[in-house]
Structure 1
Amino acid sequence: MIDLLVAGGGPAGLAAGVHAALAGLRAVVIEPRPAPVDKACGEGIMPGGVEQLHALGAPASGRELLGIRYLDGRRSAEARFRGAAGLGVRRTVLHAALARRARELGVDVVTARVGAVRQGEGWVTAAGLRARWLIAADGLHSPVRRALGLDLPGRRATHRYGLRRHYRVEPWTDHVEVHWSPLGEAYVTPVADDLVGVAVLSRERCGYATHLERFPRLTPLLGARPATPVRGAGPMLQRVRGRVAGRVLLVGDAAGYVDALTGEGIALALASAGAAVRCLAAGRPDDYETEWRSLSRRHRMLTGALLRLSGTAGTARLIVPAASALPPLFRAAVHALQ
């Protein structure tokens, strides 16, 4: 029998397959789209996530990131990472690196839709396949999570949405730059020697160009050469009742999501995939809920605090001045997320 089915072949799902193979388990990943898959993503990986990619044997090429910089047009605050650098990497390049590593380890990738998930004593089925366990890594709006009744109602007033596109320009920074406005943020991530990604996050739903108009000091740096179409995602906040349902475990964005504000999505996806596989390999699946809460605690606390501050125009205006006036506090926050 297959040891592990993985619903979703994005970074979290492929990482789960790789972790399973390294643990001596037979894993099959179910994904309807051919690799590499692109999607809206900030494309910055924190140093901890880069270390995880190397541990998996799946290093990806991109631009070295040395820290985080906040700007509001008048002030700026900067915090360099401690020790290892982060990485700006195209989502497609990251996906290709993980898919390549999965193939090397003999992880099967089946082109199919997951469909209905059924489970019983010692088994679970999806896409016509039967296994001992299933990991759902099927994204922010996980169909598996919804079918299992693990969704919690969202709070419409707090919904945030993201849009991203790339510009063909030589990067002017070796940091992730977060440009703040009272109505949202723009995240600049160098991903290649001639390419930067710009993602905007806001509670307001409007066109990408309208969002960029709120950052008059950023737009001249981008030139007039967008290199990719706009991709969107949201709402960001996904509340979840729990991450274990019988023989099914949720990882990555499917396990619940606060916001992309602190840029930890990929690192958390890789970490949760590893934690889920370790718990299954040890025969303690119920431990995963505690493991997930522990590995995501700092992210949930810090991201939640920043979201509350950015929730109104009045308090959003204070974020960069406060970070600029209190550099030790800003550095401590960035280092806590590494």
Structure 2
Amino acid sequence: MTVRVAIVGGGPVGLATAIGARLAGLSPVIFEARSGPIDKACGEGLMPGAMAALRRLGVEPAGSPIRGIRYQDARRAVEHRYGPGVEGRGVRRLVLHAALLDRAAELGVPRRAVRVDGFTSDASGVVVAGERFDALVGADGLHSRVRAAAGLDRASAADAEDRALGADGRRFGLRQHFAVAPWSDLVEVTYLDDVELYVTPVDEGTVGVAVLGRRPLVLADAIARVPALAERLEGAAPASEPRAAGALRQRSRVRTAGRVALVGDASGYVDALTGEGLRVGLAQSEQLVAALAAGALPAYERAWSRSTRDFRMLTAGLLAAATSPARGLIVPAAAAMPRVFGAVVDRLAR
């Protein structure tokens, strides 16, 4: 008997889960009230591991090559390039979403234009918008309604790590594109005193610039504080409207409850500091599909922890440093230990 899976949320990770489920012989249905490709404020740099995961789904979005990462501050810089034949890709969010939508449609994945605010469940299944399913996947983002309805929210105030950040410790993101040819095949991360700037090449005539930090965030002000970047962008026409996201840090108690599972940002999000949120979401998606196909949904919790461990540890460490007096030491430490910096970049790239 075919396993029916309701996937609430038609963003990239929700679509990847639906595509993976279909390829595994399951019967997924996507619930997403919004139509067409959906934009979101994100860095848009797909690391090599993310590209490999997309190819396993039969998805190959157009974009600009990314061959490494560069960290810099006002006085120094350190960069690491991937090895021969290893390459990521800068891809505009709308382009990525469109490619995933096309692949899901090619595979015949049904889509319901319905906003899901709740559901009912029992020992035999889950009812969503009047339809019965064997399982429900919450892939509805940072502020997941499925997570809340399932009672899986974890209040950040209850977490000692979050209390250490203080009441004003929440971080947000802001991103905009500019019509200028990329000058580098690296993702450039600039550490200022209070924010980080990310520059990502996304096609042959466009770069994306994102700023992360505490509110208020003004992208133009942050760019102006980096003279080399301001010079490169001088006269460049905006290629998109500014788009914000946050608060970035979201927590969940566990990732499964009965026949409900969370994936992607809905399952918990630390911060965007490492730029690998989508790679982690795709890894979670693969683990979740495997658990559903095996009829062993509870096993997903352990698989989720295993597949996100490195990312969570590295990001939590960076976040702790970035929100402490040690912030100014991040780039100097990376420059002083290029082999360690390179090992971290390569690990995240996989």
TM-score normalised by structure 2 residue count: 0.93
Deviation at 1:215, TM superposition (A): 2.5
Q: Which residue of 2 aligns with 1:241?
A: 253
User: Is residue 152 of structure 2 the alignment partner of residue 150 of structure 1?
Assistant: yes
User: Is residue 230 of structure 2 the alignment partner of residue 210 of structure 1?
Assistant: no
Aligned-partner SS, 1:211: helix
Deviation at 1:2, TM superposition (A): 6.3
User: Is residue 343 of structure 2 the alignment partner of residue 335 of structure 1?
Assistant: no
CA contact (8 A) 1:28 1:108 kept: yes
CA distance in 2, matches of 1:268, 1:304: 14
Aligned-partner SS, 2:177: strand
List alignment gaps of at least 5 residues for structure 1: none
List alignment gaps of at least 5 residues for structure 2: 157-161
CA distance in 2, matches of 1:86, 1:206: 28
Q: Deviations over 1:284-332 (max 9, x none)?
A: 11010100000000000111111111113x4221111111111101001
Q: Which residue of 2 aligns with 1:290?
A: 302
Q: 1:226 aligns with which of 219, 238, 242?
A: 238
User: Is residue 81 of structure 2 the alignment partner of residue 70 of structure 1?
Assistant: no
CA distance in 2, matches of 1:302, 1:153: 22
Q: Which residue of 1 aligns with 2:159?
A: none
Deviation at 1:192, TM superposition (A): 0.5
Q: Deviations over 1:128-158 (max 9, x none)?
A: 3221111100001101101222111224343
CA distance in 1, matches of 2:323, 2:257: 33
Aligned-partner SS, 2:126: strand
Q: Which amino acid aligns with 1:332?
A: A
User: Is residue 116 of structure 2 the alignment partner of residue 114 of structure 1?
Assistant: yes
CA contact (8 A) 1:182 1:310 kept: no
CA contact (8 A) 1:169 1:223 kept: no
Aligned-partner SS, 1:58: coil
Q: Deviations over 1:252-298 (max 9, x none)?
A: 00000001110111111111111111101101110101000000000
Q: Which residue of 2 aligns with 1:29?
A: 30
Q: How does 1:171-210 map to 2 (within 5 A)?
A: 171-210=182-221
User: Is residue 327 of structure 2 the alignment partner of residue 316 of structure 1?
Assistant: yes
CA distance in 2, matches of 1:115, 1:317: 43
CA distance in 2, matches of 1:40, 1:267: 16
Deviation at 1:223, TM superposition (A): 2.2
Deviation at 1:115, TM superposition (A): 2.4
CA distance in 2, matches of 1:59, 1:266: 15
Q: Which residue of 1 aligns with 2:87?
A: 85
CA distance in 2, matches of 1:122, 1:97: 35
CA distance in 1, matches of 2:329, 2:3: 53
CA distance in 1, matches of 2:51, 2:205: 21
Q: 2:105 aligns with which of 103, 106, 120?
A: 103
CA contact (8 A) 1:2 1:130 kept: no
CA distance in 2, matches of 1:271, 1:222: 35
CA distance in 2, matches of 1:125, 1:263: 35
Deviation at 1:217, TM superposition (A): 2.8
User: Is residue 269 of structure 2 the alignment partner of residue 268 of structure 1?
Assistant: no
Q: Which amino acid aligns with 2:321?
A: L
Q: Which residue of 2 aligns with 1:11?
A: 12
Q: Which amino acid aligns with 1:23?
A: A
CA contact (8 A) 1:73 1:217 kept: no
Deviation at 1:46, TM superposition (A): 1.0
CA distance in 1, matches of 2:3, 2:79: 48
Aligned length: 337
Question: What's the RMSD between the two structures over aligned residues?
Answer: 1.3
CA distance in 1, matches of 2:339, 2:296: 40
Q: Deviations over 1:88-121 (max 9, x none)?
A: 0000110011111111111111111112211112
CA distance in 2, matches of 1:289, 1:216: 46
CA contact (8 A) 1:18 1:101 kept: yes
Aligned-partner SS, 1:212: helix
CA distance in 2, matches of 1:213, 1:245: 47
Q: Which residue of 2 aligns with 1:133?
A: 135
User: Is residue 175 of structure 2 the alignment partner of residue 164 of structure 1?
Assistant: yes
Q: Which residue of 2 aligns with 1:278?
A: 290
CA contact (8 A) 1:115 1:126 kept: no
Q: Which amino acid aligns with 1:333?
A: V
CA contact (8 A) 1:183 1:204 kept: no
